[in-house]
Every structure is written in structure tokens, then in C-alpha cells.
Amino acid sequence: ARGVEGVRDLLRDLVPQADAARRIAEILRAWDGSTASDEIGVSVYHVFRERLGERLLRERLGENRRLLELREEAQPLPGVLLARFLDRVQPGRASALIEDALAETWTWLGIQVSANPKRWAWGEVHGVRMVHALERLGSNGLRWAGRSLGRGPFPSPGDPDSPWTMYHSRLPTRSVSLGPAARYAVDLGDLDHAQFGLAGGQSGHPGSHHYDDGLAEWLQGRARPLWMHRIDVAYHEAGRWELEPR
């Protein structure tokens, strides 16, 4: 919702002169806030706010090394800059800055994704990969083995402003920096119908069916039942491990 409201504030009285800027503005005005991986509006929004954030930084810092470092920080920096911009500057007084960022957004997406705006889906520039620990901690052969145990990259929904909270690095990215490992929905008055989603699977053993069997549902935002009652657990159990103290 914050993204949609910010866009409406920025574009309320803006009449872009350049065709590219006008077409980007039309996409942003039509965007309903969805962050699904096949949504076009969210791609345009995040590229636009990166371009605008970069211009705001350049005005304050000029062309220096610190600007490049801040650019790489990406989220949540562009959102913070946009929020401060909206708080301190009347959009009508900065129309040239906004229009330049809109036009640059068109150029960036045309080069990085496709010349056809219908192919600017969020998943084309925003992906997620489930990285195995050996990819980060191993070396040589272990790192190669760890990569085969990881999963992805996959087109990823979500962004920093939505309930599907995903923090990404500078676009385009095939690796979300931070996201939910698990999601739970529990009605304390109806525990028998609790639901959950898991980024991967319950087992850490690559040979297990449950190593990544929850991944597809997690990517689609779908939940599965979280059995809480003893009868449900006994009915659905596939096996049982008993740990006995020695």
C-alpha cells in the first residue's frame, strides 16, 4: 500500500512531456500494489524508485565513491529516500527530476529485460535462491557440492513494502537478500485449522522427499495445514523417530 500511495503522491499533478516517461507513468498509475512474480507494475515501481533515489543521492553527494557504495545497498535505501522526498518536497516543484527518472526507467527496463513492456514481469528482475550452507562456508569441491544442494534461482514475489516481505539488492537480482523462512497463520480460537508455509522442506537430508517439498507452495504464497491435534498427527504421520536418553 505504501508503494501505491507514494506513486499517487508523486504523479498526482505530473504531465510528462516525453513519451517514455508518459508510458511509465501510465503503468504506475494503473498498478494496484500487487507484488506477484508475474506483475509488471511492481517491476516498474522498484526500478523507478531506484532511478529516482540515485538522482536524489547524486544531488546531495555528487559523483563520488560513497554514492556507488550507497547505490549497492539498494533496499531499503530507495524507499527511505523516496519517503523523505515525499515528506520534504512538493512533487510539483520537482517535476523535472521525477520525469527524468520515469524516462530512465523505460530505458533501463528496455535494456535489462525486454523492449516489450508486456515482458517486464517482476520475476524477470527479482529472483530468489535457496543457498546451501556449503555454498557460503565451503571451498573448492565443497562449494560445488553445496551449489548442487541449493535450489533456484526462481522468480520471486514480494518486496519490502508488502506483507510478502522480501529485501533485495540492486536490481536486477537473482538472489533476494532477506525473506521469510517460514510463515504461520494460527487462529488461537481454532488451532485445528492452523496453516504454515516453509521455504524448502522439513528435512535437511538431500535424499529425503521432504528436503524441498514445501518450496513450490511457498513461492506461490500458498499454505498447508499445520496439524495440531493428536488424531490428525497420527493419521498423517509418515514415520516416527523416538529419542531415548542413554
User: Where is average pLDDT lowest: 85-89, 101-105, 231-235?
Assistant: 85-89
Which pLDDT belongs to residue 27?
94
At 230, the pLDDT band (50, 70, 90 cuts) reads confident
Q: Which residue has the higher pLDDT, 125 or 95?
A: 125
pLDDT of residue 21: 92
Once rounded to an integer, what is the mean pLDDT over residues 205-221?
A: 86
Mean pLDDT computed over 164-190: 79
* DSSP calls for the chain: -HHHHHHHHHHTT----SHHHHHHHHHHHH--S---TT-SHHHHHHHHHHHHHHHHHHHHH-SSHHHHHHHHH-TTHHHHHHHHHHHHS-GGGGHHHHHHHHHHHHHHHHHHT-SSGGG--HHHHBEEEE--HHHHH--THHHHHHHHHSEEEEE---BTTSSSB-B--SSSBSS-SB--SEEEE--TT-GGG-EEEESS-S---TTSGGGSTTHHHHHHT--EE---SHHHHHHH----------
* Structure confidence at residue 206 as a pLDDT band (50, 70, 90): confident
Q: Report, as an integer, the average pLDDT of 197-219.
A: 86
pLDDT greater than 70 at residue 3: no
Q: Is the pLDDT of residue 150 over 70?
A: yes
- Residue 163 pLDDT: 78
Q: Is the pLDDT of residue 155 over 60?
A: yes
User: What pLDDT is stored for residue 134 in this prediction?
Assistant: 82
Q: How confident is the model at residue 104 (pLDDT cuts 50, 70, 90)?
A: very high
Q: For residue 74, is pLDDT > 60?
A: no
pTM of the predicted structure, to 2 decimals? 0.76
Mean pLDDT across 146-167: 83
Task: Check pLDDT > 90 for residue 109.
Answer: yes
Question: Residue 111 has what pLDDT?
Answer: 92
Residue 84: pLDDT above 70? no
Q: Summarize the confidence of residues 80-107 as an average pLDDT.
A: 74
